[in-house]
Structure 1
Amino acid sequence: MLKRNIALTAIGGILLATTALAQTSAPSSPPSAAPSTSAPATSAPATDAAKPPEQNLAGQGKWRASKLMGVDIYGADKKKVGDVTEVLFDKTGKVEMVTVGVGGFLGIGAKDVAIPFEQVTWSDEPMAAAAPAPAPSGGTSGGTASAPPAAAPAPKGPMMYPDHGVINMTKEQLTSAPAVTYASR
């Protein structure tokens, strides 16, 4: 009985190895195909001719909902209030609202607040860098060293999502707003 199990295991291993080898190795030419001289050399393969052209939508004012999620949202005071967590559409496909995750720490204790899409001012330009803090005046002799001013990050170019959004609410107002709940089915 033990010899039979070992033999079956060995045969199974050989079959698996043969299948894996067959899937990973491709022949350099079809085994039964002989080179034909009657076909014109300038014709393209049939797979390229049937392939539809690609459509590049970047820079055409279209955004991907999956990329909009996670975009930073800033309040009227130019302080970050949260991130986009969901994009809500009506049944015709029109974007009605975005939800913004506010409060909490590292996602724990945060809640989502719905904001009408029209109330968000979207920007492709990065937020301006804050003015550098003044250098400490003590501890150096012969003058104070100052760090060079921080440059604003470079614009992203034609992307499929905005850099950030700005709303006319503060973090405190969003924190006190009702949380979004989704009915479960």
Structure 2
Amino acid sequence: MLMKSIAAGLAGTALLATVAFAQNPTTTTDKSAPAASATTTSASGEWRASKMAGVKVYNEANENIGSINDLLMDKSGAVKIAVIGVGGFLGMGEHLVAVPYEKLKFVNEAVAYTGTGANPANPNAKPAATTTTGAATGTDKTATTTSSSSSKWYPDHAVFNATKDQLKSMPEFKYSE
């Protein structure tokens, strides 16, 4: 039975191959090749929407308050809402909230770390510089920052003016079916 199946498969393959070889190539009277487009489109400074999921969200005191789970847009393609995941562990017990997209401020520089020891946001990073940053609280802090690449196609992080507890107390966002 196995030999019959193999023989039938080989015969079918041979028939299909002969049909493909029997076809004549189409000929064209125009021998010149179409002109190749020498222009390319560049999107320097733009962000890829597919890379925005997972971008960390910090408050103005540089405390991690969550991460972007999704971006919702209107029918014209303008992003209107950012869905932020707050709390939880590895996606379990995470509280989703919807915030107006225009309330987020995106930053390309790494978050200023104000503690001693390794930076929890990037423990392998070497300090690039010591700077003085003024958070929204009006206090000056000496912080160590790490450099970030501007060619990542997504911002380093977003800033939203709320605490983690305030986000957790917001109504939970549910996708309607």
3-state SS in 2 of match to 1:107? coil
Q: Which of 6, 9, 32 does residue 10 from structure 1 map onto?
A: 6
Identity across the alignment (%): 34
Q: Does 1:119 align with 2:103?
A: yes
| Residue in structure 2 matched with residue 56 of structure 1 by the alignment | 42
Q: Distance in 2 between matches of 1:15 and 1:125?
A: 64
Number of residue pairs the alignment of both structures matches: 142
3-state SS in 1 of match to 2:114? coil
Q: Distance in 1 between matches of 2:38 and 2:96?
A: 41
3-state SS in 1 of match to 2:47? coil
Q: 1:17 to 1:55 in 2, by over 3 A?
A: same
Q: 1:52 to 1:171 in 2, by over 3 A?
A: same
Shift of 1:52: 7.2
Q: Which of 158, 171, 174 does residue 178 from structure 1 map onto?
A: 171
The TM-score with structure 2 as length reference comes to: 0.67
Q: Distance in 2 between matches of 1:52 and 1:173?
A: 52
Q: Does 1:93 align with 2:89?
A: no
Q: Distance in 1 between matches of 2:41 and 2:107?
A: 24
Q: Distance in 1 between matches of 2:73 and 2:67?
A: 18
| Residue in structure 2 matched with residue 68 of structure 1 by the alignment | 52
* Structure 1 gaps, min length 5: 23-31, 34-38, 134-148
Q: Distance in 2 between matches of 1:16 and 1:78?
A: 67
Q: Distance in 1 between matches of 2:168 and 2:12?
A: 58
| Residue in structure 2 matched with residue 146 of structure 1 by the alignment | none
The TM-score with structure 1 as length reference comes to: 0.65
Q: Which of 128, 131, 134 does residue 115 from structure 2 map onto?
A: 131
Q: Is the 8 A contact 1:86 1:98 kept in 2?
A: yes
Shift of 1:79: 1.0
Q: Distance in 2 between matches of 1:51 and 1:9?
A: 50
- Rg: which structure is higher? 1
Q: 1:17 to 1:126 in 2, by over 3 A?
A: farther
Q: Distance in 1 between matches of 2:12 and 2:94?
A: 50
- Aligned Cα root-mean-square deviation (Å): 3.0
Q: Deviations 1:19-72 (Å, cap 9, x if unpaired)?
A: 9xx8xxxxxxxxx99xxxxx8xxx7xx36x35574312132xx22211111110
Q: Deviations 1:139-165 (Å, cap 9, x if unpaired)?
A: xxxxxxxxxx95133221233211100
Shift of 1:6: 3.5
Q: Is the 8 A contact 2:126 2:146 kept in 1?
A: no
Q: Distance in 2 between matches of 1:100 and 1:15?
A: 59
Q: Is the 8 A contact 1:131 1:150 kept in 2?
A: no
Amino acid at match of 1:115: V
3-state SS in 2 of match to 1:81? strand
3-state SS in 2 of match to 1:57? coil
3-state SS in 2 of match to 1:11? helix
Q: Does 1:168 align with 2:161?
A: yes
Shift of 1:90: 1.3
